[in-house]
Amino acid sequence: MRSPCDQLIETLKSFSPSLGDMRLKCAEYESGKVKVNLISDVTVSKEDIDFIKSSFEKELSGLLVEINCQKSFADCEIAKRAIYNYLQTHAFSVAHAINENSVSIISGGKKIVYVINVLDSVLEYLERTDVLNGIKSALEREYSNVFDGELRVSSKDEEKPVYEDMSVKEEDLSDLQLRTVKMCDVVRYSDDEIYDTATYIADGEELLGKCYFAGTVIEKEERQSKKGNTYYRITLDDKSGKISGSYFTTDKNKLSKLEKLQVGSVVIVRGEMEVFGGRPSFLIKGYHFCEFPSGYVPMKKPSKKPPEKYTFAFPTPCETSKQEDFFTVGTKLPETLLGKEFVVVDIETTGTDVASDKITEIGAVRIKNGVIIESFQTLIDPEVMLSKKIIELTGITDEMLVGQPKIQEVYPDFIKFLGNAIFVAHNADFDYRFLKNAGKDLGYYLENEYEDTLIISRKVIPSLPNHKLNTVCAHFNIEFRHHRALSDAFATAEAFIELHKLAKSKNLTI
């Protein structure tokens, strides 16, 4: 059912063909004003924007209305990536069995026709969750294209299943970057099948079908199903997370054995991970008693590997006017800069709240052996409207972000550029926390060592009236153009080099 806003837009389009295929992206009420974000396949004139604004205000009984209309049109490559990203975030239970090659674009233009090729078992899940309508609804709010797709079963030659008969093998889990633990002293108890390797519970949402978990029983509860059948709800904790599973059986021998399973028991269980009502559900089939390895502490989840190629943002070779002569750099620069790579980063954001605000720009430069050798920059569509304060502060406007990649599209490029280099920023905790938080939901775990020019400057130049970036740059006569990310990153990089040189001359350790 269409919203009143959608209905009004359809009426306006019938009166004014110049609006193109305009659609509602979202509407928000904030501080006595309704902010309406629209997309279209054409550039909408100011006169038409005023016409839309007055129509909405009339429809909304005189409420103040702010209209933002962006031209948003996806080509084949953008559409393919958008469909893949939707599957990764909205079909989490089968995301491990879908890669970018699973999505094929048949035709582009106004109507994007696509095919998703998946395994038979994955196809059943996607059909049950009505993923095609989900893609259509989500993407037609982002782009003015029409999306029409179908699901197909991959042939054996097209794609080999990640799991054989959906049963998890330890080597498969390693490829999927799922963590496992091999349990000790396994005592066969209530299952004919023998197993000793379990997936971390925290990684369980990435599984579908047959899987194994281990943990300490923290709850055992007898329940009644809607049909009056008795079953048991058993909750395990493996220190990485908790999971509850349902155990159904009418076998008297198994019910008798179940009495020995108590809170505090350590078990490894076999079961089926399914999806009901859009949420994962774990059905326990059998279990054995066991123990965790001595000194067991959950390992950190490994980060995704950087992509082999850049996709949306690309590094640019560069040098600055302050670069040292090649033959003298080794003698002038301190050892703290030689033989190392640093990536100096600055970001712009929609605000200062790491949990809710978004990144709008990333600028970064690479320092190798004390020399700035390349840069990386990209604007990012935060998918929210910018406040007047942020626009004034950064110089970035909503119009500048139209058509820019979203964070999930460009973050892998940033990770590739960063590599294993030491992360550097001014007030580094701010930039590092924003980027770490942005990567977490995408499977990238930022753990690079980092240095902070704010902290270094306080130690090396304590006499400065303050240690803001512009003040530090002024001390070294470094050109400073505040608040765009790449300019700030260049200025910070030059200040970083000068701070290390000054620290060397003062015999300071930083």
Q: Are 83 and 119 in contact (CB under 8 A)?
A: no
Residue 277: how many other CB atoms lie within 10 Å: 6
Residue 11: how many other CB atoms lie within 10 Å: 11
Backbone φ and ψ of 72, nearest 5°: -140, 110
Q: Is residue 269 classed as helix, strand or coil in its secondary structure?
A: strand
CA dist 83 and 142 (Å) reads 12
Q: Are 236 and 195 in contact (CB under 8 A)?
A: no
Distance (Å) of CA 340 to CA 208, 332, 366, 415, 448: 43, 16, 10, 18, 13
- State the alpha helices, DSSP H only, in 140-205: 170-175
Strand pairing category for 184-190 and 279-291? antiparallel
Alpha carbon 365 to chain centroid, angstroms: 23
Catalytic residue (choose from 426, 467, 483, 500): 483
- The arrangement of strands across the sheet holding 111-118 comes to 103-107, 111-118, 146-153
Residue 412, both tokens:
């892998």
Q: Are 24 and 11 in contact (CB under 8 A)?
A: no
- Taking phi over 0 as left and psi of -120 to 50 as alpha, with beta for the rest, 250 belongs to alpha
Q: What is the DSSP letter of 322?
A: T
Amino acid letter, residue 430 = F
Is 483 known to be catalytic?
A: yes
Q: Are 444 and 304 in contact (CB under 8 A)?
A: yes
Backbone φ and ψ of 357, nearest 5°: -85, 160
CA dist 243 and 235 (Å) reads 6
CA dist 357 and 346 (Å) reads 16
CA dihedral 92, 163, 78, 17 (to 10 degrees): -60
CA dist 482 and 467 (Å) reads 15
Of 286, 410, 325, 317, which Cα lies nearest the Cα of 360? 410
CA dist 295 and 291 (Å) reads 11
Q: Is residue 253 classed as helix, strand or coil in its secondary structure?
A: helix
Residue 149, both tokens:
């797709």
Which residues are known catalytic residues? 483
